[in-house]
Structure 1
């Protein structure tokens, strides 16, 4: 019982090639992982705070990346050009491939470089209050993350 009864399942032996082909065909490829290879938690965490708010209209799906964006991406260790967005900044009506990193290892470097951007769920990160206690969630397991991301895309189509 479940979605597999109604869904065609595909497999690939070369995920980076599949993602690059999807990107070349106009699909947005969004990665989500607790850590992107070479980056710290500040740069990529699924629920970590974002560096700066950006609008999805800042994305360039054609692959042209400014020198500033290239430098920022290279500093994050993601291969350059990929940007980080909160989920509420992402238009759910655009054709999108979601790539979820494993709980233990996140996204492999070649897979991360194949992404056009990275998406995070806003409101996360562990925050310390004045009394020394901590609140918030520092990470989610991959099934919870996948459910939240899929809900955004499926429910957003009707808005």
Structure 2
């Protein structure tokens, strides 16, 4: 799915997110063969979207698909998981996904479990324009991509291990 469930989980478990992403996710899920009553209703909602209605059907659809819906920081981390996965699967998206993770970290008052991505974003950006950075010890132009990929991999392992 292009719109991964983390974005929908964040919308359902926090005041953040966009109801249009939930509708898009539902449409994509249906085209991929997932099918539940609430997923169908959610996919059929049209503008103007009512946040409370979208949230209600999105929660129902997630539950019907067996996807848990955490609240607060855990919901933010669920979305962060999708962004981190994107970096590993599609390294050319590294800069944009790091920017999203950084913005999310800032918006969430520097949420601890995603703070390293805040630091890595600024180290990455500095090294695009300069030869030095002060955010990540030992990172330079020759190794910043590898450091980011290693951090993404270890973060995902830790996140997934907590889910078990």
TM-score (norm 1): 0.30
Larger fraction in helix: 2
TM-score (norm 2): 0.29
Say which one has the larger Rg.
Answer: 2
Q: Kindly indicate whether structure 1 or structure 2 has the higher relative contact order, using CA contacts under 8 Å at least 6 residues apart.
A: 1
